[in-house]
Amino acid sequence: MKRKSSPVNHSLILGVSGGIGVYKALELLRLFQKAGFETWVVMTENAQRFVSPLSFQTFTPNPVITSLFTEPLVHIELQKREILLIAPATANIIGKIACGICDDALSTITCAFPGPKVLVPAMNKEMWENPVVQENIRKLKSLGYHIMEPKEGELASGEWGKGRMPEPEEIFAFVQSLLSQKKEGILSGLKILITAGRTEEDIDPVRVLTNRSSGRLGKELAEKAKDWGADCLLIAGRMEEKPEGVKIISCRTASEMLSLLKRESKKNDILIMTAAVGDYKPLVREKGKKIKKKSFSLPLVKNVDILESLREEKLFKVGFSLDSEAELIKEAKRKLKEKNLDLICANSFASLESDFIEATILSRDGEIERLPRMTKREFAAHLLQKIKTKFNEKVKSFT
């Protein structure tokens, strides 16, 4: 009898690694197939010791992938699928992914996959609590992986503890929820105001006082916020490259930026202040002629503090603190309180003119999250998810 197929709504790669929870992956595959998913199964060598590829082939019309050598370009071909789910995810496959090791079909496909990735860890209690495993989990979370943590219950060893794979229905609901957020946009309905780039203060008609900020992080934040459904406005100083498809208002000086922010802040829900605003400006601007003296002194005065000027504004405010390693957290805590911020991201001078950033995120509620070095694109995604969570908590506290 020919199997009745549902209309295709989504596409999913189901990765299966070698744990006792493999038998649940069969039921999980059946649920996705029944719901109209186009499914592709990728099995590790150890997974095949528990369940044969033929068992999975029963539920999916697509070939079950067990090796890169039979399908050498499969890791490229599967990039267009919608979501990747690994269930169960053993400590071994988690460690490989966290370290960028690509030595089999599943680890290689995961490394090459650009879309949302979900891991469902399943292992014994001691392995789950191992500091190395927990460090790998933290790293993957910071890189944007979705982790569905194991349940507490009776394990394969007969012991009781955390490490049990969630039931197929729970995993199915988790993935459906993620796809729903992706479709609607996790930032849909929010108006986000972002500043980026560097300000300039005129010395004379030719020269300016400025800094080395490239504006790359602001660009990544604006593009990701737009992709995730936010109504995004970028107020931009000088930038190396501006984002595509985002409304932009340009400015040069700190005073111009502050004026624009005061005008726009009441129309928005969230302000993310990534712009590198000059701390000082010339006391006097030489007008009408270029300075040609062999030597001259340049008196400077303190520039306007934009976030301090906006401390009474009611929108959710995110600041950045650039400082030396020695003073990083201390200064960030001070600014968080004095400028009445909801979040502040502390990072060192090393991130200037770089595609990478290593930052610590401090929250008004006292939470401190130290992140590993990552690309600014990865950091932008993580920060926006964090902002969404904290914004929702703040809104809930007022209702």
pLDDT at 372: 87
Number of folded domains that form the chain: 2
Residues 6+ apart with CB under 8 A from 309: 258, 262
Do residues 47 and 67 share a domain? yes
Out of 184, 210, 245, pick the residue that ends a domain.
184
Out of 184, 206, 237, pick the residue that ends a domain.
184
Q: What is the pLDDT of residues 53-107, one digit of tens each?
A: 999 999 999 999 999 877 656 767 788 898 999 999 999 999 999 999 999 999 9
Do residues 154 and 239 share a domain? no
Q: Are strands 146-147 and 117-121 parallel, antiparallel or unpaired?
A: parallel
Polymer length in residues for the chain: 399
Measured distance CA(128)–CA(190) in Å, rounded: 37
Q: Is residue 137 part of a domain?
A: yes
Out of 144, 162, 184, pick the residue that ends a domain.
184
Do residues 199 and 137 share a domain? no
Residue 34's pLDDT band, with cuts at 50, 70 and 90, is: very high
Q: Among residues 46, 211, 303, 392, which one is catalytic?
A: 211
Read off the CATH number of the domain in which 222 is found. 3.40.50.10300
Do residues 245 and 328 share a domain? yes
Binding residues: 279, 289, 320, 335, 339
**Residue labelled with tokens 């960028």:** 100
pLDDT at 4: 46
Binding residues for CTP: 279, 289, 320, 335, 339
Do residues 177 and 56 share a domain? yes
Whether pLDDT at 5 is above 50:
no
268 is catalytic: no
Residue 156's pLDDT band, with cuts at 50, 70 and 90, is: low
Measured distance CA(107)–CA(145) in Å, rounded: 14
Domain that holds residue 115: 10-184
Do residues 386 and 264 share a domain? yes
Q: What is the pLDDT of residues 201-252, one digit of tens each?
A: 999 888 899 998 999 999 999 999 988 889 999 999 999 888 878 899 999 9
Q: Is residue 2 part of a domain?
A: no
Residue 178's pLDDT band, with cuts at 50, 70 and 90, is: confident
Do residues 156 and 254 share a domain? no
Asked if residues 344 and 330 have their Cβ atoms less than 8 Å apart, the reply is: no
Q: Is residue 4 part of a domain?
A: no
